[in-house]
């Protein structure tokens, strides 16, 4: 593989990676009328193409019980508010 092709492939891969920053507020199962309080979590995600356009795929445990989610693309200082469309724990 030529060096220029490797550099291009690496650049394209980096462009598809995002940092996911979530604020979660998990339930307190011992006292169901309360929550455990807000916590922050950070993880990664990948931009994927779907029939409905580009989406971000990340781990369910990162966004479960979320109250607020932001994402930041590799090499971009801007943060963007995101929303969860679905969680597949069994996946």
Residue 1 has pLDDT above 60, yes or no: no
Q: What is the number of other CB atoms lying within 10 angstroms of the CB of residue 84?
A: 14
pLDDT digits (tens, 9 = 90+) for 56-71: 999 999 999 999 999 9
pLDDT digits (tens, 9 = 90+) for 13-41: 778 899 999 999 999 999 999 999 999 99
Separation between Cα atoms, residue 12 and residue 60, nearest integer Å:
25
**Residue 6 token pair:** 């490797």
pTM of the model: 0.81
Question: Given 3-state DSSP classes, what are the helix, strand and coil percentages for the chain, each rounded to the nearest 5?
Answer: 20, 40, 40
Separation between Cα atoms, residue 34 and residue 48, nearest integer Å:
36
Contact by Cβ (8 Å): 20, 64 = no
Separation between Cα atoms, residue 90 and residue 60, nearest integer Å:
9
């Amino acid at each position: 593989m030529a060096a220029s092709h490797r550099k291009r492939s690496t650049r394209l891969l980096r462009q598809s990676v995002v940092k996911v920053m979530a604020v979660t507020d998990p339930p307190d199962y011992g006292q169901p009328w309360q929550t455990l309080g807000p916590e922050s979590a950070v993880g990664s995600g990948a931009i994927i193409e779907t029939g409905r356009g580009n989406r971000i795929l990340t781990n369910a445990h990162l966004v479960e019980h979320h109250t607020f989610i932001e994402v930041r693309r590799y090499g971009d200082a801007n943060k963007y508010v995101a929303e969860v469309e679905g969680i597949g724990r069994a996946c």
